[in-house]
Structure 1
Amino acid sequence: MNAYIYLRALKHAEHTVFCVEKGQKTYFDPQFNRYVAYSSGQQVKRSIIDSLTSNLNVQMAPITFNYNVTKDKQLENKEPWSPCDPSYVDQLLGGWMRAEKDEITVKRRSPLSISAMRPIHPLLAGTDDENLTFDRSDKPDRHPVNVRLGDKLMTDEEIDEFLTTNNRTLPRRNWIPGNVRTSGLFVYDIAIDLRTLFSVSTNQHEPELSKDKIEDLKAKGWVESENVFGKCLVLPKEEREKVIPALASALLNWRITSNQARTFSLMETLAVAISDNANKLAGAIRAKLIEDGERPKAKPIIDETAGADVFVTLPCSNYVVTVNESADALEKAEQKLIDLMMAFDYENQL
């Protein structure tokens, strides 16, 4: 009974942004001497959890945000509180930590280990910089112009005099410089620990749950069992059978939801590799470096003989030489994940 499922997926991104708070995230690749874009594992995880809860039509656990009022009447951020309740599916699969003064810290590591989404090869993805514009110059009568001189709002007559005197104009257009976009082929990897996927430890030496929450879960039908980490509670089978198909879909069909409308990309999934051996994934979806004079190139490769179960979608043939692409590849990959997760004996691990 293998305890892990490993997943690698290849996505295509086109002229988009993975993070918009401070522009596109990048890191420097020292071997190929270039900056490449990435989406952090935390962002990928959040997008998967968003997709999962949407598939199940359930809400995420309520998080309490705490503040202190300082002596100078300012608000000071304190650590947010998680309910630490696996009854919420985002808590069960996403993990938690809560540390309170004068109380025992409880924490649960997520059973999903998720990598950053990064280029399959530094030469197969890139960034470009563009200047955007907020433009309303086509209908000047509908969009007034305000000019402030210090704290004073200038009148129309004062504006006209200023423009005439200084030979200036006031266009109804703002430039927004330095907007980085990325395009290319990206991969992400996920390891699913089946031992803890639906099992929560009841050990009180390094607790995941409070004693009150343990009793509450027992009352809700959670099954008492034991795994290699010790005694635990297991989500009832009927609940697991609801979560597993939704999780399988979310792992393959998530989208980054923090994009602004102008940066939307389908981010279509091109290929998926699934195995109980992580090394098989690296061979199944990879890139090959090709020497081409002084300028090396890279070629994406989907290898169905590398030992993993490989599923190739129709759009993959746009970017990779493929043989067995199919319209139902993602549905087959989902079913493979469902079968593997359903087959594990969560109640009788020992």
Structure 2
Amino acid sequence: MQNHTIYIRTLKRAEHTVFCVEDGQKTYYDPQFKRMLPYASGQQVKRSLLDSFCDAGNIKISPTTFYWDFNKKKELKEGEAFGTCDPTYPDQLIGGWMKASKGGGSRTLKRRSPLSVSAMKPLHPLLAGVNKDSASFDRSGHSHNKIIVRGEDGKELNEDEINTILEGKDRSLTRKWIPASNKATGLFIQDIAIDLRRLFSIRLDDFEPEISQEVEEKLRESGWVEGENVFGRCLIAPVKLREKLIPILAYAIINWKITSNQARTFSLMETLAVSIGGNANKIAGAIRAKLSEENSEQAIPVVEEQVKGIDTFVTPTAAGYVATTTESIEAMDDAEEKLIEILSSYAYEALPEFAL
């Protein structure tokens, strides 16, 4: 029986870093272990994966159309934002799209991404956490700083007025204290499910269209062939396009990473292990954690290196945090090759099988 869905679980380590978010490190509360835990959302991981995909293939990201409304009050209001809804852009083919026009003036176009992407979350609540980090901007050792003090009217005060204000006060004007912020540290897992039936196919459905008639004609002219799968009639990407995109996609899935938006909190976020297989339950058991029998307040990371039907690849770095026996410096290259093999061997043009 051929697997139509492939699961990939990735174990990463992050050290004293901030996942790239606008308002500091995202956290959630675990009610069982009563801890605030750091995470990166699935949307953030997906964006990181698509960035890696486009970088690896030197692919230009598809354009986005932004709509703004200028109303009678002469106010500019934010409207919709649409992608191209065109799978000839590889990031659209992999990432999916949704276009619902304001007022319902045109048909809604929707393609669910063939990649289901989870949040990056702690392997176990006891194996990751957040800590507060205070910082300062100190230039008190430099005598050529320029200091400007503004009065209530916004005008600059002169040196005598500044000295009067500082009289009797132990206050430096060349140091800025930065409020404490959360930093994430620990072992994290992230899961991806790839629906191979939809990876390189676009559904043809007049009632729930994925593409416009114009794009359909464009695809046919580009060599996409009509076929049928369990979801009905579809257009299937040509072999040459699949052969070009599969190695790029495999590289992105194995090597994506989230980078911090702060130079002082950079972390390699190195991958410790990757498991690939067609059984979600076995994937969950291949990389996991368990409570210590001696101490219920301690969790032990576990990487099962021999699970039937699951291929697990372990890096040398993992040996510093998990008991392993098959770690290899070529582990990530091997994982990439395995994923390419799986994606390349799937029968994308095959007709659906019906159980009687």
The reply to whether TM is greater than 0.5 is yes
Q: Provide the residue aligned with 1:345 in structure 2.
A: 347
Report how far residue 212 of structure 1 moved: 1.1
Q: Distance in 1 between matches of 2:219 and 2:259?
A: 32
- Contact 2:259 2:266 (8 Å CA) reproduced: no
Equivalent position amino acid for 1:231 in 2: R
Q: Provide the residue aligned with 1:17 in structure 2.
A: 18
- Contact 1:195 1:349 (8 Å CA) reproduced: no
Match of 1:157 among 149, 156, 160: 160
- Contact 2:260 2:267 (8 Å CA) reproduced: no
Q: Distance in 2 between matches of 1:292 and 1:177?
A: 39
Deviation digits for residues 109-163 of structure 1 (CA, Å, limit 9, x no counterpart)? 000001111011000011100111122222131x211111122222333323332
Question: Secondary structure at the residue paired with 1:78?
Answer: strand
Report how far residue 70 of structure 1 moved: 3.3
Alignment partner of 1:71 is 2:83: no
Deviation digits for residues 236-289 of structure 1 (CA, Å, limit 9, x no counterpart)? 111111111111111111111453211111011100111111111111111111
- Contact 2:272 2:318 (8 Å CA) reproduced: yes
Q: Provide the residue aligned with 1:259 in structure 2.
A: 261
Match of 2:135 among 132, 137, 157: 132
Question: Secondary structure at the residue paired with 1:55?
Answer: helix
- Contact 1:7 1:191 (8 Å CA) reproduced: yes
Structure 1 window deviating more from structure 2 (148-157 vs 34-43): it is: 148-157
Q: Provide the residue aligned with 1:189 in structure 2.
A: 191
Question: Secondary structure at the residue paired with 1:148?
Answer: coil
Alignment partner of 1:115 is 2:118: yes
- Contact 1:27 1:35 (8 Å CA) reproduced: yes
Structure 1 window deviating more from structure 2 (210-219 vs 170-179): it is: 170-179
Over 3 Å counting, the alpha-carbon distance change for 1:168 and 1:194 in structure 2 is same
Equivalent position amino acid for 2:45 in 1: V
Q: Provide the residue aligned with 2:223 in structure 1.
A: 221
Over 3 Å counting, the alpha-carbon distance change for 1:170 and 1:72 in structure 2 is farther
Report how far residue 223 of structure 1 moved: 1.5
Q: Provide the residue aligned with 1:82 in structure 2.
A: 83
- Contact 1:96 1:107 (8 Å CA) reproduced: yes
Over 3 Å counting, the alpha-carbon distance change for 1:20 and 1:263 in structure 2 is farther
TM-score scaled by structure 1?
0.96
Structure 1 window deviating more from structure 2 (324-333 vs 303-312): it is: 303-312
The 5-angstrom pairing of residues 38-53 of structure 1 reads 38-53=39-54
- Contact 2:20 2:259 (8 Å CA) reproduced: no
The 5-angstrom pairing of residues 270-285 of structure 1 reads 270-285=272-287
Question: Secondary structure at the residue paired with 2:191?
Answer: strand
- Contact 1:53 1:90 (8 Å CA) reproduced: yes
Q: Distance in 1 between matches of 2:286 and 2:261?
A: 30
Report how far residue 301 of structure 1 moved: 0.6
Over 3 Å counting, the alpha-carbon distance change for 1:192 and 1:104 in structure 2 is same
Structure 1 window deviating more from structure 2 (34-43 vs 300-309): it is: 300-309
Gaps of 5+ in 2: none
Question: How large is the RMSD of aligned CA atoms in angstroms?
Answer: 1.4
Q: Provide the residue aligned with 1:332 in structure 2.
A: 334
Equivalent position amino acid for 1:306 in 2: V
Alignment partner of 1:30 is 2:35: no
Equivalent position amino acid for 1:5 in 2: I
Q: Provide the residue aligned with 2:234 in structure 1.
A: 232
May I ask how many residue pairs the two structures share in their alignment? 347
Gaps of 5+ in 1: none
Report how far residue 77 of structure 1 moved: 1.0
